[in-house]
Structure 1
Amino acid sequence: MIETRLLSTDELLRSLVDEVTEIRVRENAALQIVAELDRRGAASELGYRNLPQVLRHVVRWDLHIAKRWIDNAALLTNEITPTGSELAPVLPLTAEAVAEGALSIDHVAAVAAVMKTVPADQEVTVVGYARDFEPHTVRTLGDKLAYSLFQDDPEPRDPETAPPPGNEHRMRWKNGRLEIWAKLEKVTGAKYEALLDPLAKPRPITADEGPDLRTREEREGDALAELVDLMLRAEQLPEHGGEPVTLTLTMPYEDLANQVGHATLDNGDRVPAEQVRQLACNAGIIPMVMGGASQPLNVGRKTRTFPAAIRRTLVTRDRGCAFPGCGRPPRQCDAHHIRYWANGGETSVDNAVLLCRHHHTLIHQSEWEVGLVNGMPTFYAPAWLDPQRSPRRNLINTA
């Protein structure tokens, strides 16, 4: 038994990693047993309707947990044919990683879900995601991988299929309050979200009022009320990141001109080129010239605050929080000085990275480090997490 009180924090974390790895190795052994029970028809032998019912009584699993273990076991274990031949697992590379203790049961479910959407030869890529990230991010990266593999395929068009629904809005008065319900298509929804978000931020902590104790729902409700008031004074619309609220879509100019491909919204949703062209008819176009003389991309030591032109460039480059595995959109991000302002760092694109509030705080208060490598934000984990301190990037926000 380890005397945890005598260990440093780094030693504790390394011990935790070792313990979890050992747990996962033992889970793999349990999966092999579950697979054998399923293979030999243990449920019928014992008079049960199915194997989940057996496991429910034997190890007190809920039925949905038991079914997940059975499904995962079938993907990771060798199959025996009626003739006695042994077949490799459905997900052989995943099975190897699980046997090493690198992946959890939840990781296996995430990998399996992604592998239903991509060719079998992509398993090495998906398992790589699982070795580096939690299951939710594996699914997100898997969706992106599937889109990249099939984005050039023609989109199915069924003339008999009804067009996608437009915007819907319903309201009614009840007990002296107006109840509002709405469904908005993605571009309109993104505009609405961009307008509401800066108004829904928690109020700053003050000596008189203390912290903002409103729930997120309450803050967004108050933001909607404020937005109504602002619309009555249209010249006073809120600002976000130092400039008026803007809906940002990113795509190559050549694709826009040729009406191919797609643009990407701040939240990662894709908008077809023809819809982007329609939006461009009613919007100002801001050319992004990285480092060009037309934009003040480096303001040196004159100001600590990043001007709008630099922020627009960071949005185009980073597409949201640049921290590995984070999917926060640009509107929820701060511009961070890589070399701190207090240490002489300049306010420039080459000394800046977009970070959400959580990861901005993490960078300032932990041993995580960030720098630009070939012009792209690159992160290095603390030694207790990665002794080699291998470079990491946010694969979610890359093109």
Structure 2
Amino acid sequence: MSDPRLPLLSTGELLRSIVGKVAEIRAREYSVMQEIAELNRRGAAAELGYKTLPQVLRHALRWDPATARRWVEQAVLLSSEITPTGSEVAARLAVTAAAAAEGTLSIEHVAAVAEVMKTLPAEAEPRLAAQVEAQVVDYAREHAPAEVRARGTTLTYALFQNDPEPRDPEPEPAGNRLTLRQSKTGDWKLAATMDAVTGAKFATLLDPLAKPRPSTAEGPDPRSRDERQGDALAELIDLMLRADQLPEHGGEPVTLTLTMAYEDLAAQTGHAVLDNGERIPVEEVRQLACSAGIIPMVMGSRSQPLDVGRRSQPLDVGRRSPLFTAGIRRALVARDHGCAFPGCSRPPKHCDAHHVHHWADGGDTRIDNGVLLCRHHHTLIHRSGWEVKMEQGVPVFYPPAWLDPLRKPRRNLLHTAA
């Protein structure tokens, strides 16, 4: 509900009110950073079973990873430190900390000042560094963060233009690099750099598959060279999936699991889902199911596997082994579609199979006692107050009491199976 007094204020009064309230918000942000710094000093992450403090803040405050890291980084820069002997050392950005405490600087301003200070030569005198920080902070009091970065660059260049450039990034060593991203339309885009030997091997594999098709009554092959090489790469991937020796994920050769509801399969309607989340029209299902490296999985009405692969495989090995078989893992992939921890989007290839009731404590190795967890969340379940339970055939997670005193159950709603 809007404040009925607002229409009575002049434009100047409104703006002054906004400026004052934003200053209060910034001062409160500084106070929060001091508390974050104290958590960091006392090792709260390890105390709670987490690897890093940003991971704790992600769960406590529902922050994105980058946001949590930024707050912790700024908190450390703006806070004093206590030495093992008990003496206090001033904050690394003491001038910036004082301005932030006043409510003058936002966390974005603090990040901009920190970036400028990182550009100073490592051998710069502390007195000169303090002078640079003071000048940059004075500029930040009246300008936006982007302008602070630009001004800081100009200032440091003027002060140290005759010095060597120790902070220029070193050229990356030659090697193999591949960038692979999926677009919103579902297509994949890749860019690669290969060393001379690897590139020659790849070209040798691709060349026979990329040759123009023989001329027909319709004329010569109309595809461009790039199109022919793209089709050749797709054919090379199919050949790899049919190879005898493939790298492994979770103890079995690389495969894609094709999951479809039994009712849809019988009626030949709807779609199937690959374990990377891609939806496949029913018309393509039969063709894909015949491919090596693609495992068909039929699901019942309660998302429980009815059949794994081309022959029924046991989904319960009891106490015989603590290791999940390939068949059980495929069933877990079909059910969980990746890390089952709430909010995690990691795909199956980055996940381990975890015993909900630990095998060492008497738990069986079977599908209804297993859950897929990425390495980070697998560690978290073992070391922190988070718990996972199987309820109606699906994994449900309960947060620690410090995060949610009511410990309300949570599920991962990002994956298709959820």
Q: Which interval holds the TM-score relative to the shorter structure?
A: 0.3 to 0.5
Who wins on radius of gyration, i.e. which is larger?
Answer: 2
TM-score (norm 2): 0.44
TM-score (norm 1): 0.45
